[in-house]
């Protein structure tokens, strides 16, 4: 894994967005995997800016979101459908038919999950997957003890996740207990992965994901098995990394590395 440490959240978001832009410039019809949560908001804001000011084009892009709460309709303010529309899709030129988000209101979740996996395969797989990380080390809603080979399915949210996400709801009882989520196995098939994390609250999960053993107890640790994964952090989120000096050394030396 490559670890890129920024002084600020804004800088971290800019660097991660630049990676997405690089993908779209080299492959205008790229398939992006998208994440929700407060962490990628800065990244989406930067993509919107690049679209408006620099003409970053989404007209041929296809997107697949990682997850959705079970039971929330598309227009529920805490649904991930709503989140994506408000924070990204309504500001860019992506065709609505190219947007895929797991349904939180289907009457057959099992069939929907199989169809979602099939759609990802049919469009040629995900080129670049964006991820956040939960304070319990989850990626998407793959909570501790999730199979590292898991596919899109229904998961029961961990108490920790419900507590973390309660800030977005009126009361904790309103946080859905179930979610539909891509699996760790689904995520690992993306050709490139970027993970963004900021703040001290994530430092422990980040250290365990990047430097701990690969374990289903920290599903983000499975990213160590991925051949092209970059982790973008602000300084507080990097605070517990043992190898921080090495990552910064690599970052400083990188411009001199052979280009071909």
Residues with a known catalytic role? 67, 136, 138, 143
**Inter-residue contact 143 to 205 (CB < 8 Å):** no
Q: What is the DSSP letter of 136?
A: T
Report the C-alpha gap between 43 and 48 in whole angstroms. Answer: 9
Give strand pairing partners of 35. none
Q: What single string gives the DSSP state of each residue in 35-101?
A: --SSTTHHHHHHHHHHHHHH----TT-EEEESEEETT--TTSTTSHHHHHHHHTGGGS---GGGEE-
- Binder among 134, 137, 176, 183 for ligand PGA (CB under 6 A): 134
Region from 51-59, 130-138, 147-155, 211-219 binding ligand PGA, contact rule CB under 6 A? 130-138
37 touching ligand PGA, by CB under 6 A: yes
- Binder among 23, 70, 94, 133 for ligand PGA (CB under 6 A): 133
- Closest contact distance (angstroms) between CB of 256 and ligand PGA is 34
- Binder among 8, 25, 29, 38 for ligand PGA (CB under 6 A): 38
Considering the complex, state which of residue 33 and residue 132 has its C-beta at the smaller distance from ligand PGA: 132
Report the C-alpha gap between 32 and 34 in whole angstroms. Answer: 6
Burial zone of 18 (CB within 10 Å; 0-12 exposed, 13-18 middle, 19+ buried): middle
- Closest contact distance (angstroms) between CB of 258 and ligand PGA is 35
- Closest contact distance (angstroms) between CB of 25 and ligand PGA is 26
Considering the complex, state which of residue 40 and residue 103 has its C-beta at the smaller distance from ligand PGA: 40
Give strand pairing partners of 130. 194
- Binder among 42, 104, 132, 183 for ligand PGA (CB under 6 A): 132
Which residues make up the interface to ligand PGA (CB under 6 A)?
37-39, 132-134
């Amino acid at each position: 894994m490559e670890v890129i440490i920024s002084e600020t959240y804004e800088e971290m978001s800019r660097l991660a967005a630049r990676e997405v832009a690089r993908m779209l410039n080299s492959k205008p019809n790229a398939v992006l995997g998208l994440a929700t949560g407060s962490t990628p908001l800065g990244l989406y804001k930067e993509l919107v800016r690049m679209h408006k000011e620099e003409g970053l084009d989404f007209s041929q892009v296809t997107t697949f979101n990682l997850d959705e709460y079970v039971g929330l309709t598309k227009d529920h303010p805490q649904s991930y459908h709503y989140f994506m529309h408000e924070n990204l899709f309504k500001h860019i030129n992506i065709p609505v038919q190219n947007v895929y988000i797991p349904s939180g209101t289907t009457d057959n979740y099992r069939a929907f999950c199989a169809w979602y996996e099939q759609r990802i395969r049919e469009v040629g797989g995900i080129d670049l997957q964006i991820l956040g990380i939960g304070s319990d080390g989850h990626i998407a809603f793959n909570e501790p003890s999730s199979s590292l080979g898991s596919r899109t399915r229904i998961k029961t949210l961990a108490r920790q996740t419900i507590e973390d996400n309660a800030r977005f709801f009126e009361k904790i009882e309103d946080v859905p207990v179930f979610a539909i989520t891509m699996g760790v196995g689904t995520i690992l098939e993306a050709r490139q992965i970027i993970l963004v994390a900021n703040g001290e609250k994530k430092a422990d999960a980040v250290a365990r994901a990047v430097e701990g053993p690969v374990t289903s107890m920290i599903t983000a640790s499975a990213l160590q098995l991925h051949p092209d994964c970059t982790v973008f952090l602000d300084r507080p989120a990097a605070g517990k990394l043992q190898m921080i000096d090495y990552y910064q050394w690599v970052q400083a030396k990188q411009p001199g590395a052979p280009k071909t």
